[in-house]
Amino acid sequence: MGPVMNIWKRGKGFTLIELLIAIVIIGILMSLLIPAVNKIMENARRLKGLNSLKQIATAYTQYSNDDVNGRNIDAGNSPTGIIWATKLAQAGYLNDPTVYCFSGDNGASRVLKKIIATSATTDGSDAWGSVPGTESDQEFSVWVISNVPTDAPAATTPIAFTRGLPADGKWPNSGVYGTKGGYIAFLDGHVEWYDNLGTGEDEGQLVNWDTGKATNSIQDTIPDSAQILSASGGDGGSVKGNGTSPTFGGGS
């Protein structure tokens, strides 16, 4: 009876070596599992950003095709991305402000619901615009492009892109996805992911508006009358053809 009891007692526990082996195995499994989980989460975050930008692109395409003569969004004399988004909302095409803020983007506003009016004002003017009290420095996860001609080459003319893309075509660390890349939405409604836009000015993946040749500068893909806008105007708010270049820093 004694030997049986000894075996039973030993079977209920672990030796120190067995415990250490178990810890090592768990550590190895965790080291393999954590990167895989992070990859899945990153892909899910990108997919959500892709869907949001597709909604913006689709709404813009519907807006521009709604009139037989074609329409573009003119953000006015003091243009901002907020005004651009508000005009799209006013026309009834996209009234969800959360699509302008991508998941995991620490540089974008967290109070976007206050930015775009959801109904006409109560003073009878039917005016739309930013809700009173909105901070002037609020940011989107995308920069948008105003005054894009509706007869522009639809498949190669951008209308919106992940915030902060510099003139050299390489995404900055301060962007939504860091240096990994970003999205560009085009006039025909399609959206593409780019790790970068090319290594040389004439070796890019985009199309120069003036020459029709390859370019890695997103500024070169739009006419002089177009404007690249951040939410508050700021970083992307310059007119392309006024002799100054937009400050492509990465947003606030």
The string of pLDDT tens digits covering residues 6-23 is 544 555 667 888 888 888
- DSSP SS3 for 171: coil
Residue 230 DSSP label: B
Q: Which of residues 19 and 241 earns the better pLDDT score?
A: 19
Q: Is the distance from CB of 172 to CB of 249 less than 8 angstroms?
A: yes
- The torsion angles phi and psi of 217, rounded to 5 degrees, stand at -105, 120
Q: Is the distance from CB of 182 to CB of 161 less than 8 angstroms?
A: yes
pLDDT digits (tens, 9 = 90+) for 30-65: 877 777 767 777 788 889 999 999 999 999 988 888
Residue 218 DSSP label: G
Residue 130 DSSP label: P
The domain limits of the chain are 15-229
pLDDT digits (tens, 9 = 90+) for 229-240: 988 775 444 445
- Give the whole-angstrom CA distance, residue 156 versus residue 189: 11
- Give the whole-angstrom CA distance, residue 231 versus residue 31: 40
The continuous run of DSSP H or E covering 186 comes out as: strand 182-186
**pTM score, two decimals?**
0.75
Q: Is the distance from CB of 140 to CB of 100 less than 8 angstroms?
A: yes
- Give the whole-angstrom CA distance, residue 199 versus residue 234: 27
For residues 80-109, average pLDDT: 81
Contacts of 87 (CB under 8 A, 6+ apart): 73, 75, 128
How distant, in Å, are the alpha carbons of 1, 37, 65, 193 from that of 59?
Answer: 81, 33, 10, 19
